[in-house]
Each structure stands twice: as structure tokens, then as C-alpha cells.
Amino acid sequence: MRRQHSLLSWSPLPLVTLAALVGTLLGCEDCAREGCDSLAQRAAQNGTSLAGVVAESSDVVGNGCQECPFGTAELQAWQVEAPVTSESAVAELMAQRSPDWEKAVSERYSIALAPGFYLLCARPSCVNLTIADGQTSTANVKRRNGPTSFFVGGEDAERLAEDFGLDVGF
């Protein structure tokens, strides 16, 4: 004999469980990625200056998201005669004189500078920059658990490239 199912014997539990699972997988949380999403963008032109964003990349991944919101950094810069090409030369420069400017920056920054060569540091890393007269150079900073990197590129470059620069330690 065949058993017949009635509406009274039906249970909504499997449907509720499925809805909860789909909701968990889709997630209602936003993934804070605005910092890293901005790293490839050039700063707006604002005269002879240096500008950029600071992103704070997390090493934690949750629900398929590696968070990377805007962050903060302590920037230091030395105006130099020519690009500094070795870690030992950076250490010597740092031992000889204080930075020409230091600034705590948050999210987006812009600093008016004289044209010339600069060594920009967000420790533990430093990168060489050229500030051209009447131009805004972009140096986006990516902080992480490990070396800091910079997203830089000349005005003629099609896009900004990640540069880990010179490691000067903490």
C-alpha cells in the first residue's frame, strides 16, 4: 500500500535551513576594500605636490574577503640631489640628518613640495620620487604586516606600479 503525504505532515525546517545557509553564504556584511581599490588611481593635479592614499591591508580573510580599508601612515621625506639607490645609502642619509618633512597622514593626503628628487619613507620601506614643477606626483602607500609598498609611476606611465622600494627596517 502506498503512503500519501498531506500538508499537515510537511515540515518547513528544510526550507528554513536552506534560507539561512544561503543568507550566510551571500553575507550581509560589506567587505572594506576601499583602500586597496584606490591604490591604482592617480591623485588629482594640485600644483607642485605629492599626493596619494594610504591603505591598510589585513592578513585576515573572512567570507572570501581580505579587508583593506583606508589607513594611516607616518611619512618622512628627504630632498636629495639624486635618487638614493642602496639601503646603506639610505641608512647613511638618515644618520646624517633629519627628514625635511614628517607628517602623519590618514586616508588621503596632499603635500606641497618644491620640485626635485625626494626619498619618501613609510617605514620600513622608502622609495625615490621626482617632483616635477607644476605637477602632482602620486605615491599611494599600502601598509601591511610586513614591508610597506608604494604605488608610483611617472606622468608618462600608463598605470601606477607597486614598488617595495628599499627596506630600511623599523
pLDDT, tens digit, 9 for 90 and up, residues 15-59: 545 444 444 444 445 788 899 999 999 999 999 999 999 999 988
Query: Which segments of 27-160 does DSSP mark as H helices, in order?
Result: 34-37, 87-96
**Range 34-167 classified under CATH 3.40.50:** no
100/150 Cα distance (integer angstroms): 20
Question: For residues 96 and 106, is the Cβ–Cβ distance under 8 A?
Answer: no
pLDDT of residue 8: 52
Per domain, the residue ranges of the chain are 34-167
Q: Comparing 1-5, 86-90, 145-149, which segment has the lowest mean pLDDT? A: 1-5
pLDDT tops 60 at residue 148: yes
113/78 Cα distance (integer angstroms): 11
